Amino acid sequence: MPLEDIKPETIDDIIGINLTAFIHITRLFMPVLKSREEAAIINVISKSGIVAQEGQSVYMASKYGVRGFTDVLRADLKDTNVRVAGVYQSGTNTKMFTKTGEDFSTEKFTDPADLADVVAYMLLLPKKIWLPEVRVEY
């Protein structure tokens, strides 16, 4: 919806869930990740962190924020044992879309199990190969 129609508390909720939570969780896990011989952070972000979409200003801002956070985190941790990547997927067929009340087909959307396979594949690659950014599209 247009920015002027979004309630301030909704803005805070979207930013809190989609961006601030990523930052806090990562901060809490960082000591554990750094103590491991090998570790990875793979942020599943959404194509909304790459492609602007009309009527999604706050959601897009949160996802672009996670993309920036992921990119800086990758730079900050480049000389450590922690590898960082972002996964940018098109629509994923979850129950989230039924909550919107909108009527549209999710038939082409990515199955969550397929998205999990992509993440598992990234982690199974040899250590000398890393995919810092993956786009999953339908």
Spell out the domains of the chain, with CATH numbers in brackets. 3-136 (3.40.50.720)
Place of tokens 């999710």: 106
More confident residue, 114 or 57: 57
pTM tops 0.85, yes or no = yes
- Check if 59 is active-site: yes
Contacts 24+ apart (CB under 8 A), 54-59: 55/1, 55/2, 57/2, 57/3, 57/6, 58/3, 58/6, 58/10, 58/11, 58/14, 58/15, 59/14, 59/18
| pLDDT at site 108 | 76
Alpha-carbon gap, residue 68 to 86, rounded angstroms: 10
Question: Is pLDDT at 101 greater than 70 in this prediction?
Answer: no
| pLDDT at site 98 | 64
- Reduced to 3 states (helix: H, G, I; strand: E, B; else coil), residue 50 is coil
Q: What's at 112, amino acid-wise? A: P
Kindly name the residue from 59, 64, 88, 121 that is annotated as catalytic: 59
